[in-house]
Amino acid sequence: MEITERVFDVIIVGAGPAGLSCAIQAAAPKSRILLLEKKGGPGTKLLLSGSGQCNITHAGDINNFFARYGRNGKFLKPALLSFTNQDLLRFFGEHGLSMMTGENGKVFPETRSSADVLEILIRLCKERGVAIRTGEPVTGITRTSQDFCVMTTTTSYRSPILVLATGGSSYPQTGSTGDGFGFAKSLGQPVTETGPALTPLLIRNFPFAPLAGMSFDALPFTCWREGKKVADRVGDVLFTHLGLSGPGILDASRDIRSGDIVRLSFVGTMKREEFDDDLTRRVQENGTWQVRTLLAAYPIPERLNRKLLAISEISDDIRCSHLSARQRAKLIANYTAFPLTVEAPGGYKVAMVTRGGVTLETVNPKTMESKLIPGLYFAGEVLDLDGDTGGYNLQAAFSTGVMAGRTIQKARTPDKKSR
């Protein structure tokens, strides 16, 4: 749609799922809505979601979602209940795209194509008269008593209502370079410390690099900082050439910093004392066995057993009767709480989302409007929200975008129901 005027009823910065869904909901007859996107087309990051298959949400009860966003999940409750995962599925179903539930409750389009999701969002925006300008980065935003002035590389626009749906800083090649945080600060909106989340961990002097590709289901692990436990998790873990990954590590990464110690328990649900008692008993009862043969009784890969024996400075062919108390204690420690020092969480180029963002205490969770600046709204990852893997972040983007859009539409047409 060619733009012939520079004054709009609503300006939305960022044409990802949050911005697109906000525009769809905010649209009303004769409304003038402008959607600005810095990249050459809308939804660049959405197209990469789920390796292009678009894990759009998670199945199950929406009440189980709140705990999936860390300590800030409570903020999302109004938005998630107002536009649930089932509402999201119905929305796309009504517009010709059915969904399917895959492994671990992940929901995908039946076509397994994120492009099909994006096509519907763009089509609905155009049908509702939303003006979409792409390849036009916003360079600055100012505010007067009446409106916001949004300056781009080519021109400037004005509107009494502004929505920042710019995403975070992860996958910067898609346009998510943290611009929204700077815009929010310039307008007087507080922003918390930001960093990469849903990201692998780079481990200092990683001893398991030769075992890269080895994975563990439901592995218990803890994270320590300056002697204090900061995370206690159970999740799927993957060894990489540089450190740790897998859904469990990705989900925990929001709470992990450089210098932290991650301790892995390779004996599953067994507590250290239980493993100590069990191993000691087996050693005493099977003195002629080789220790590595005895360790094969536990559900631990043989290659890992050999590696842990070597790290524990125990000969590969030592017999149980020759295992000293000191060696046994070292073995037990390495099997139940193997320490790995975090060099750094993976950077923004590999992180799926950003932790931190616009301070939630300054945003109304029932409208997504700033409590400090009337007419300023937020949606999606620009907020201090990040969810676990499995579709939770896209659901949050849609739910907050819909919440902001519906609020705007109601405010502008109080005599009509929001659509």
Question: 227-240 burial, b for 16+ CB within 10 Å, e for fewer?
Answer: eeeebebebbbbbb
Per-residue pLDDT of the chain (419 residues; tens, 9 = 90+): 444 459 999 999 999 999 999 999 999 888 899 999 999 999 999 998 888 899 999 998 999 999 999 889 999 999 999 999 999 999 999 999 999 998 889 999 999 999 999 999 999 999 999 999 999 999 999 999 889 999 998 899 999 999 999 999 888 888 788 999 999 999 999 999 999 999 999 999 999 999 999 999 999 999 999 999 999 999 999 999 999 999 999 999 999 999 999 999 999 889 999 999 999 999 999 989 999 999 998 999 999 999 999 999 999 889 999 999 999 999 999 999 999 999 999 999 999 999 999 999 999 999 999 999 999 999 999 999 999 999 999 999 999 999 999 999 998 765 444 33
Q: What is the pLDDT of residue 49?
A: 86
Structure tokens at 413: 């047409």
Q: What is the pLDDT of residue 34?
A: 97
Domain ranges of the chain: 10-195+352-412, 200-265+339-345, 272-336
CB 54 within 8 A of CB 114: yes
Which parts of 102-214 are beta strand (E)? 106-109, 131-134, 138-143, 148-152, 156-159, 162-164, 195-197, 201-203
Q: What is the DSSP string of 366-405?
A: TT-BBSSSTTEEE-GGGBS----TTTHHHHHHHHHHHHHH
CB 24 within 8 A of CB 130: yes
Q: What is the pLDDT of residue 5?
A: 57
Which parts of 215-312 are beta strand (E)? 215-225, 228-239, 243-245, 261-264
Q: How far apart are CA 177 and CA 401, in angstroms?
A: 19
In the CATH hierarchy, which top-level class contains the domain 200-265+339-345?
mainly beta
Q: What is the pLDDT of residue 419?
A: 37
**Which of 201, 17, 170 has the alpha carbon at shortest distance from 92?**
17
**Which of 211, 273, 26, 37 has the alpha carbon at shortest distance from 128?**
26
Q: What is the pLDDT of residue 172?
A: 85
Q: What is the pLDDT of residue 20?
A: 98
In the CATH hierarchy, which top-level class contains the domain 10-195+352-412?
alpha beta
Q: Please give the single-letter amino acid code of residue 146.
A: Q
Can you name the CATH fold of 272-336? Answer: Helicase, Ruva Protein; domain 3 (1.10.8)
Q: What is the pLDDT of residue 177?
A: 86
**Which of 70, 354, 32 has the alpha carbon at shortest distance from 196?**
354
